[in-house]
Amino acid sequence: MKPRVLVSRAVFPEVIARLAGHFEVDDNQADVILGVDGLKARLAGKAGALTAATDPLTADVIAAAPSLKALCNFAVGYNNIDLAACTRAGVMATNTPGVLDDTTADLAWALLMASARRLPAAERWLRNGEWKGWEFVQWLGTDVHHATLGILGMGRIGQTVARRAWGFDMKVLYHKRTPLPAEQEAACRASWVDKETLLRESDFLVLLLPYSPATHHIIGAAELALMKPTAHLINVARGGIVDDEALIAALRGGRLAGAGMDVFEGEPKLNPGFLGLDNVALTPHIGSSSRSTRMAMAMTAADNLIAALGGQRPPNLLNPEVFK
């Protein structure tokens, strides 16, 4: 008898077909948001699950599924999983790093450019029929070329963002707790600085940090006050890294030129203050949203699940002590 697994959100049919070759699959192609109670009910009797960043895989959920052996997130982030609870219960947890780096870096640059050149507001103005003719001082934006790009969090995606700055002849600064090895810095043409210097000198600051209690509101009113009033803030990482209320106040008060936001506190809800601003570009958490990348993410998660329930070490195991 095949092991039973859950696929918690709608995915491509090819992914379901791949899993069906190994497991009895309980899918959710209707894409109903399960929540804690729904996950408890649907994980009953399951050996594993393909899960999304929207699934609250709490200690209670894990405890309610004693037959569970593997939770395989189709996301690079895993703050939705209580990893310590998984380890205590002997449940392997995995993510999908690497496959979404380029696509997420592309969106970071799309938001950066949109914020710099005021594209959302300019398009709304045009669509509303307000364009009556060309003017010399109309819709003045910020130059990206030869500006200073700052990156807070310099993992794989951060390094990918940095390499894209070469074509704009930008100076690249970054901050992370441990500087990159010299050869990686050279490959990115980037220089490590302390956090305060990064905030003060960046014309464009891109956030690429995982969310955790330690990074909650790592960009708040005090940090925004250090930034240039001509600077732009781009967040394609996780909601909660930025104090959204403080950011809205800075944008509204002219203490920051613009922002590009793909993630928000409490999403899918977002602070309504964003909607009244003309100097922010907003997207609905679509950093990895290209068909090929989302397919790669889902197939990577499927590979992790097949390995985990087949007695092999999953390629992207987050808690290796469980496998030992």
Residues with catalytic annotation?
238, 267, 285
Amino acid identity, position 323: F
How far is CA 218 from each of CA 47, 114, 271, 275, rounded to the nearest angstrom? 37, 24, 18, 23
- 286: Cα separation from own chain's centroid: 8
Q: Count other C-beta atoms under 10 Å from residue 321's C-beta.
A: 8
Selection from 12, 16, 43 nearest residue 27 by Cα: 16
What CA–CA distance (Å, rounded) separates 198 from 192?
9
Contact predicate 195/224, CB 8 Å: no
H helix runs in the chain, sequence order: 13-20, 35-43, 59-63, 83-89, 101-116, 119-127, 156-164, 182-188, 195-201, 221-226, 244-252, 291-309, 320-323
Strand 171-175 to 148-152 pairing: parallel
Residue 135 is encoded by which pair of tokens? 């003017």
Strand 70-73 to 48-51 pairing: parallel
Please calculate the CA angle 48-80-21 and round it to the nearest 5 degrees: 25
Helix (H, G, I), strand (E, B) or coil at 84: helix
Please calculate the CA angle 48-41-22 and round it to the nearest 5 degrees: 25
What CA–CA distance (Å, rounded) separates 113 from 232?
10
